[in-house]
A = this chain, B = another copy of it.
Amino acid sequence: MLRRMAKQGKSQGKSRGKEAAGRITPRAEDYPQWYQDVVREAGLAEPAKVVKGCMVIKPHGYAIWEKIQRDLDGRFKATGHQNAYFPLLVPQSFIQKEAEHVEGFAPELAVVTHAGGEALEEPYVVRPTSETIIGYYFSKWIDSYRDLPLLINQWANVMRWEKRTRLFLRTTEFLWQEGHTAHASHEDSELEVRRMLDVYGDHAEELLAVPVVRGIKTESEKFAGAEQSLCIEAMMQDGKALQAGTSHDLGQNFGKAFNVMFQTETGERDYVWQTSWGVSTRLIGGLIMTHSDDAGLVLPPRVAPIHVVIVPIFRKAHEREAVLEAAARIKQRLEQVDIAPETSRYRDFLSVVVDDREGMRPGAKYYEWERRGVPLRVELGPRDLAKGQVCVRMRVDTAAGSGKEFLPEDEFIDTIRSRLLTFQDELLSRARARLSERAVTIDTWDEFEKTFAGDKSTFAWCHWDGTPETEAKIKELTKVTIRCIPLPGQGPDPEPGVCVLTGKPSARRVLMAKAY
């Protein structure tokens, strides 16, 4: 196991180029560079380079995605959804059937014009999202109210030809899931939209330890083709917002575009009410920017591919065997510990690495595993063995552990589950505290401009007059966008006021920030 991880580290070292080798730029010095450095040094991903705007997701990054998938997939199934798979290619004409949809996606499409050695009569686009092609099959599958609700999810790759890309946060190809459902009434589909937003919010908080604000997108920020888009917004350490997931009320728009009709209980024909909702590998970007520090990646244990690294320490050859033997024993004991929630239908056994590489100082090993975000490190030397103890260090000082601690081996094994889960909770609390400390209410344009001067950002609760013109003006002047109109309980209580820019009446504050 270690052998391979070490090699990953090594190969990553080679690919990162000489100029930046090994250095993580401090956040305070250059935040975007810090992010790139953390991604590179943790071995999560690298720019594909030979394929415009794409990335290669490396094993450590992909293992995080697998944990995200497993958690989400369980939540989807628990709420009655089934997975299916639809074609990668979509007839170009399909994209054009919903007016707003084509306007939103046409500029970003990759187009297959030739196949099997011939020019195609009608080109295909690589799916940027699958509302259109799934709408087409829904029209074949749905006949009556008895067929509804139809609750489908797809795990897939999609492609949007973006001009400016950034690892995980925005890439031309990305991995995601897209839920697509059809319902017999708007009431039902609205409930679904809200249910799935909560699934996303709970996933972000419970698995990723990323607190989110749940809200509604403005008209200009909503999904192309939706009646309304709900979203979860997370605050990154630089105060910018990351839209981490969206859940769309499609109304009957795609039902009409693809003639998805059903017979109602009263015998009439009507168009179905649809929803779609998705999260992507972008979540990994949000995870990184929520917890990591100047020493590199920090991972909550539930999403960490490796939970514990054991570094054996010995100076003399005769100590080697006993230390390695103890390390192997502890690894084996730890690997029997399951940190999945009590109610889980899956197991989540601890993943443990013994870093027995030779010719490398313990300090260098600590440094490397810190960068990779391993939550807990065990240092194990002859003196510890003699005392029947282990030396434990959490990746970040929290209530789960602070500084080096020396624990009897049995106590360590018996308490590791609660220690890791405490660490998970602490990361969430810490991020929550940051969100509430940094969020501000702003009532004057002067203060608004100061708050968002230059590259600065935070979460600002401001009054807005509700017009797209004002929204556009604010964006033009400051690059700040309306992240969402908060759902009940997700921000200050609604109270009337006046727009931060225009002074016109406003019914409630909305969330404003610069965004990724």
The chain A residues found within 8 Å of chain B, CB to CB, are 1, 4, 6-8, 10-12, 14-15, 48, 50-52, 54-59, 62-63, 65-66, 80, 82-91, 94, 106-117, 123-124, 126, 133, 136-137, 140-144, 146-148, 150-152, 156-157, 159, 161, 163, 173, 175, 345-347, 349
**Closest CB pairs A-B (n = 8):** A11-B141, A116-B161, A59-B82, A57-B85, A110-B115, A54-B87, A51-B87, A111-B114
Q: Which residues of B contact A147 (CB under 8 A)?
A: 7, 10-11, 14
Given A4-B151, A56-B85, 13 more contacts at CB 8 Å?
A: A7-B148, A8-B82, A14-B141, A14-B142, A14-B143, A15-B140, A50-B133, A56-B86, A88-B88, A89-B110, A107-B117, A108-B116, A113-B114
B157 A88 Cβ-Cβ under 8 A: yes
Q: Which residues of B contact A88 (CB under 8 A)?
A: 54, 88, 126, 157, 159, 173
A84 B111 Cβ-Cβ under 8 A: no
Q: Which residues of B contact A112 (CB under 8 A)?
A: 110-113, 126
A84 B110 Cβ-Cβ under 8 A: no
Q: Which residues of B contact A110 (CB under 8 A)?
A: 89, 112, 114-116, 124
CA distance A80 to B54 in the complex (A): 27
CA distance A87 to B159 in the complex (A): 10
Known A-B contacts A83-B59, A91-B51, A143-B10; the reply to A115 vs B111 at CB < 8 A is yes
25 pairs from A and B in contact (CB 8 Å cutoff): A4-B151, A7-B146, A7-B147, A11-B141, A11-B142, A15-B140, A48-B86, A51-B133, A52-B115, A55-B87, A56-B86, A57-B84, A59-B82, A62-B83, A62-B84, A85-B175, A88-B159, A106-B117, A111-B112, A111-B115, A112-B113, A112-B126, A117-B161, A345-B347, A346-B346
Write the chain B residue with the least CB distance to A51. B87
Interface centre among A14, A107, A111, A142 (most CB of B within 10 A): A111
Q: How many copies of this chain does one complex carry?
A: 2
Partner of A58 from the list B58, B62, B84, B91 (CB cut-off 8 Å) is B84
Partner of A161 from the list B115, B137, B175 (CB cut-off 8 Å) is B115
CA distance A157 to B106 in the complex (A): 23
CA distance A243 to B305 in the complex (A): 34
Interface centre among A48, A51, A124, A346 (most CB of B within 10 A): A51
Q: Which residues of B contact A6 (CB under 8 A)?
A: 146
Q: Which residues of B contact A113 (CB under 8 A)?
A: 111-114
Interface centre among A89, A90, A91, A136 (most CB of B within 10 A): A89
A59 B80 Cβ-Cβ under 8 A: no
Write the chain B residue with the least CB distance to A89. B51
Write the chain B residue with the least CB distance to A83. B62
Write the chain B residue with the least CB distance to A118. B161
Q: Which residues of B contact A136 (CB under 8 A)?
A: 50
